[in-house]
Amino acid sequence: MTRVRFAPSPTGRIHIGNARTAFFNWLFAKKKLGTFVLRFDDTDLERSKEEYAQAIEVDLAWLGIAPDLVVRQSQRFALYDAAAESLKAAGLLYSCYETADELDRRRKRQIARGAPPIYDRAGLKLTSDERTALEAEGRKPHWRFKLQDRTMRWDDVVRGASQIEAGSLSDPVLIREDSSYLYTLPSVVDDIDLGITHVIRGEDHVTNTAVQIQLFEALTADRKAPCFGHHNLLTTASGEGLSKRSGSLSIAGLREAGIEPLAVAVLAVLTGSSDSVHPVASLEELGEVFDLNHVSRGAARFDEAELQALSARTLHALPFETVRERLAHHEIAGTRAEGFWLAVRGNLTRMEDVPDWWRVVEGEIEPVIEDADYCRDALALLPDEIFDDKTWSRWTAAIKEKTGRKGRALFHPLRLALTGRDQGPELAQLLPLIGRIKAAGRLSAPGG
């Protein structure tokens, strides 16, 4: 059974770039009828905050992503400790005592000599007495994983045939001097324990794959490593990377700005792919388009202005059933709600504009009387019949015949009087919602 994971660190709010990875995993799991795991990588106990973990779950729920399982690495240290001891016993995890400054100077000397700046495995050459002497100085060891010098190959589900020469890499540090774990060991242990079958993530993790496959092989003999897929990263239009300090591009910031979650989903998933960015009515429709094989190897750049426009276009196409509950939140319900939505949706920039248009049809407004004599003529011709979608055309035809007006001179003064707005939805749809009583009252407003 397909099992994927989205693994944010709860050290800040997630942004649209993180949403790209989350959607890739969630949609992939949906297509395969698999399981989507939300894994909080919170082994950094100092920087990880519960408030961020909760906020990430809220952000995912707003986007429409529902995890099948939620786990926290901070509750799984016993698994990591056992794995570390297993690696030590196998001679694959060894202690090192260099400081960060010493390592930096060593790398600079290697570069100056034209040698690759990789760790020279000095820790492996230490005798027991030398280790004891270093610890007597107050030094504490960090622990490195001993890589095998071989070519690591995998069939990347996004990039195709891929390989990394493990011999060109430094043995990675898995455990810091303070005994805390870096990302790599807990991630692999969790992938094994949770039965993760596919690891879909950003292309900045490509090099990590060689290490993780070797680590996976060292920790389990009866299972293959997961399939890996590395997608291009979402950047700003100018090519800048995103971070948890991206402000307006955080999911919370986009939600507060009134951006439609479906627009965020479309842009996050389809930018930088061979599929055109276009509005969808549901995540199910987006899932039908989504295909990892369509993801480009080139840059995945997007423009905030494009997101704003896509959000508006998404609103314009949403059917009533999709927004029924959201309208009810604004106390717009009953038999008139659907007609109202169909009338105004094409003029919305964001959902928060809906109450203003509901006030136009249901509440009190300040009519704008541009031509009082003309409004009196129009009022005299206002039909007594029950208003329907043909009333506007019959009424304006009668006004045109009496006054000789046409075009803007015919229609614009009526819009101003009936809505108080210079522009807006088609009046053929709005007039039946406004009704005869309100229409007559507005046409006869002071000055009319």
Instruction: Please tell me the predicted confidence (pLDDT) of residue 448.
Output: 43
Tell me what the mean pLDDT of segment 10-15 comes to.
Answer: 93
Tell me what the mean pLDDT of segment 379-404 comes to.
Answer: 95
* Entry pTM: 0.90
Percent of the chain exceeding pLDDT 90 equals 91
Residue 203 has pLDDT above 60, yes or no: yes
Instruction: Please tell me the predicted confidence (pLDDT) of residue 360.
Output: 97
**Alpha helices, H only, 113-239:** 128-136, 184-193, 206-219
Residue 303 has pLDDT above 90, yes or no: no
pLDDT tens-digit readout, 64-92: 999 999 999 999 999 999 999 999 999 99
Which residues sit opposite 153 in a β-bridge? 163
**How far is the C-alpha of 228 from the C-alpha of 160, rounded, in Å?**
10
Nearest alpha carbon to residue 213 among 168, 164, 160: 164
For residues 235 and 192, which has the higher predicted lDDT (pLDDT)?
A: 192
Tell me what the mean pLDDT of segment 23-34 comes to.
Answer: 98
**How far is the C-alpha of 28 from the C-alpha of 4, rounded, in Å?**
8
Average predicted confidence (pLDDT) for the chain? 94
Q: Is the Cα torsion angle 13, 278, 284, 206 positive or negative in sign?
A: negative
pLDDT tens-digit readout, 245-264: 555 589 999 999 999 999 99
Residue 190 has pLDDT above 80, yes or no: yes
Burial classification of residue 26, based on how many CB atoms lie within 10 Å of its CB (0-12 exposed, 13-18 middle, 19 or more buried): buried
Q: Which of 44-48, 96-100, 123-127, 169-173 has the lowest mean pLDDT?
A: 44-48
